[in-house]
Amino acid sequence: MEWLYCDFHIHTTWSDGRCSVEEVIELYGEAGFDVIAITDHVLDSETAKASELQGKRIPAVSEEDFPVYIDDLRRAARFARERYGMLLIPGVEITNDTSRFHMLCLDIKEYISPDPDVETIIENTAKQQGVSVACHPCPRSHSGQNPSAYLWENHERLAGRFDAWEVANRDDLFSVVGLKKFNYIANSDFHEEKHLLSWKTLLRCEKNSEAVKEAIRSNERVSLFLYRGGRIR
Ligand code: ZN
Ligand code: ZN
Over residues 116-152, the pLDDT tens digits come to 999 999 999 999 999 999 999 887 777 777 889 999 8
232 in a structural domain: no
167 in a structural domain: yes
pTM for the whole structure: 0.96
Domain that holds residue 102: 3-226
- What does the pLDDT read at residue 67? 98
**Span 76-102, mean pLDDT?**
98
233 in a structural domain: no
Q: Ligand 2: distance of its center to the CA of 189 in Å?
A: 5
107 in a structural domain: yes
Q: What are phi and psi of 80, to 5 degrees?
A: -60, -40
pLDDT tens track for 155-171: 989 999 999 999 999 99
Percent over 90 (pLDDT), the chain: 88
Reduce the DSSP state of residue 224 to 3 states and report it: strand
Asked if pLDDT for residue 74 goes beyond 80, the answer is yes
Q: Ligand 1: distance of its center to the CA of 24 in Å?
A: 18
53 in a structural domain: yes
Indicate which ligand has the atom closest to the C-alpha of 16.
2
Q: Ligand 2: distance of its center to the CA of 167 in Å?
A: 14
The number of folded domains in the chain is 1
Q: Ligand 1: distance of its center to the CA of 43 in Å?
A: 11
104 in a structural domain: yes
Q: Ligand 1: distance of its center to the CA of 135 in Å?
A: 6
Asked if pLDDT for residue 181 goes beyond 80, the answer is no
Q: What's the CATH number where 176 sits?
A: 3.20.20.140
Asked if pLDDT for residue 230 goes beyond 80, the answer is yes
120 in a structural domain: yes
Indicate which ligand has the atom closest to the C-alpha of 39.
2
DSSP string, 156-178: HHHTTTSSEEEEEETTEE-GGGG
231 in a structural domain: no
Q: Ligand 2: distance of its center to the CA of 163 in Å?
A: 17
3-state percent breakdown (helix, strand, coil) of the chain, nearest 5: 35, 25, 40
- What does the pLDDT read at residue 61? 98
Distance (Å, whole) CA 47 – CA 124 = 21
Q: Ligand 1: distance of its center to the CA of 206 in Å?
A: 28
